[in-house]
């Protein structure tokens, strides 16, 4: 397709607690990227309340889509595709997004594409950095913690996943425990800046073990036990030191798991110079990024991390994944059913 014939795709994201719409083109330009966070709606409950999320998506999505359309200066009928997160996620929100996208597609006659939210995170590095297949993906978000080889659109090899909590969940629970508020990731990171990571001896679950799986529940329990052992409320320096200790432990185990992934990648793709892409909300964590950058450099692996705004949930990544699918003719029918669970890949025996 020549430059005279630019493809533009609208993306819609409603699978968790951001209502988002964006338009991207096949020149890798983000023409608009509107994200409405529902943080204030959920803050009093210390976590995302699915029912509140679904209602907020329903109330706001039409205006967010109109905003994205106006900002890009493109009429809906002039789009080449309408992409929407079809799962996995909180099903009420996903239904709102899918319903809206189908309505726009039906009214404008534009092709409809249902996108896997994890695939949208996975392909973001191709939008931001034009990364070629195959590459290694560390997907670290509120709901997921996985290492995969991305070999093509729809072609994923799962190297490892979490045996208990997702990594973002571990950050969120730790923050709650330390009274740092919600969402936990940014709060733990901020508190850790003033903390001494070596004051508390915390475990490094699965460190040094073969394969690429993760586990965080033991670490979470250790933080909780350390807080109890203090014998008083965890605030100020205590909270900062525990946050720093937790974050350092997480960074170390993630780096260890990535080293195993480098080996698995080299075995499967001996002739490809490895690239490690970090994606998902937790990839916004600067301390973790620094550790991973260091580990990658020592193993001669290039590292790509999209900017924080494209690591956390957004619709530009959905639009881009939709565009990639559209380019190879993978569209969906208007009978697509929202999927609360939708794994990218089944575990391999490797």
Residues in CB range of 294: below 8 A, 6 or more apart: 255
3-state DSSP call for residue 321?
Answer: helix
**Helix locations, the chain, DSSP H:** 39-42, 50-72, 91-108, 117-129, 167-177, 184-192, 217-230, 236-268, 286-298, 308-311, 316-327
- Give the span between the Cα atoms of 323 and 306, in whole angstroms: 18
Q: Are 296 and 261 in contact (CB under 8 A)?
A: no
| 87 interacts with ligand KG4 by CB under 6 A | no
Contact residue for ligand KG4 among 135, 171, 216, 320 (CB under 6 A): 171
Residue number, nearest CB to ligand KG4: 185
- Give the span between the Cα atoms of 115 and 93, in whole angstroms: 14
- Give the span between the Cα atoms of 20 and 310, in whole angstroms: 12
Sole window of 33-41, 91-99, 137-145, 292-300 interacting with Zn ion (rule: CB under 5 A): 137-145
| 195 interacts with ligand KG4 by CB under 6 A | no
| 331 interacts with ligand KG4 by CB under 6 A | no
| 281 interacts with ligand KG4 by CB under 6 A | yes
| 284 interacts with ligand KG4 by CB under 6 A | yes
Of ligand KG4, Zn ion, none, which one sits near residue 282, judging by CB under 5 to 8 A according to partner kind? ligand KG4
Q: Are 11 and 84 in contact (CB under 8 A)?
A: yes
Stated as kind and residue range, the H or E segment containing 271 is none
3-state DSSP call for residue 43?
Answer: helix
Nearest to ligand KG4 of 32, 285 (CB atom)? 285
Nearest to ligand KG4 of 69, 117 (CB atom)? 117
Q: What is the DSSP letter of 330?
A: -
| 189 interacts with ligand KG4 by CB under 6 A | yes
Of Zn ion, ligand KG4, none, which one sits near residue 189, judging by CB under 5 to 8 A according to partner kind? ligand KG4
Site string for ligand KG4, 129-148 (x = CB under 6 A): ------------xxx-----
Q: How many CB atoms lie within 10 A of CB 148?
A: 24
Sole window of 26-34, 60-68, 164-172, 223-231 interacting with ligand KG4 (rule: CB under 6 A): 164-172
Nearest to Zn ion of 80, 189 (CB atom)? 189
- Give the span between the Cα atoms of 251 and 241, in whole angstroms: 15
Contact residue for Zn ion among 100, 124, 141, 174 (CB under 5 A): 141
Nearest to ligand KG4 of 56, 104 (CB atom)? 56
How many residues bind ligand KG4 (CB under 6 A)? The answer is 19
3-state DSSP call for residue 99?
Answer: helix
Please give the radius of gyration of the chain, using alpha carbons only, rounded to the nearest integer: 20
Q: Which of residues 11-70 bind ligand KG4 (CB under 6 A)?
A: 16
How many residues bind Zn ion (CB under 5 A)? The answer is 2
By CB under 6 A, name the binding residues for ligand KG4: 16, 141-143, 168, 171-172, 183-186, 189, 280-282, 284-285, 312-313
């Amino acid at each position: 397709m020549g430059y005279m014939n630019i493809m533009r795709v609208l993306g819609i994201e409603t699978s968790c607690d951001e209502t988002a719409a964006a338009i991207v083109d096949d020149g890798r330009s983000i023409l608009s990227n509107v994200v409405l966070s529902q943080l204030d709606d959920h803050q009093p409950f210390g976590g995302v309340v699915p029912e509140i999320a679904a209602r907020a998506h329903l109330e706001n999505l039409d205006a967010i889509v109109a905003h994205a359309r106006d900002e890009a200066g493109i009429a809906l009928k002039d789009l080449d595709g309408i992409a929407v997160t079809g799962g996995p996620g909180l099903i009420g929100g996903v239904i709102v997004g899918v319903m809206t996208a189908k309505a726009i597609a039906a009214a404008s006659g534009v092709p409809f594409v249902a996108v896997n939210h994890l695939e949208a995170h996975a392909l973001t590095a191709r939008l931001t950095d034009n990364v070629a297949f195959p590459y290694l993906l560390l997907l670290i978000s509120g709901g997921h913690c996985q290492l995969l080889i991305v070999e093509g659109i729809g072609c994923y090899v799962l190297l490892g996943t979490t045996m208990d909590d997702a990594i973002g969940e571990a950050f969120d629970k730790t923050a709650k425990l330390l009274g740092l508020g919600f969402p936990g990731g940014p709060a733990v990171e901020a508190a850790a800046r003033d903390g001494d990571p070596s004051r508390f001896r915390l475990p490094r679950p699965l460190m040094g073990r073969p394969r690429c799986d993760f586990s965080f529940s033991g670490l979470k329990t250790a933080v909780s036990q350390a807080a109890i052992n203090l014998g008083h409320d965890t605030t100020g320096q205590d909270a900062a030191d525990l946050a720093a200790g937790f974050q350092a432990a997480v960074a170390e185990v993630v780096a260890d798991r990535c080293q195993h992934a480098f080996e698995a990648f080299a075995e499967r793709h001996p002739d490809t110079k490895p690239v490690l892409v970090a994606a998902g909300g937790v990839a916004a964590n600067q301390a973790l990024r620094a550790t991973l950058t260091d580990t990658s450099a020592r193993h001669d692996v290039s590292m790509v991390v999209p900017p924080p705004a494209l690591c956390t949930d957004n619709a530009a990544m959905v639009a881009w994944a939709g565009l990639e699918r559209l380019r190879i003719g993978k569209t969906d029918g208007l009978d697509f059913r929202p999927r609360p669970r939708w794994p990218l890949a089944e575990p391999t025996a490797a």
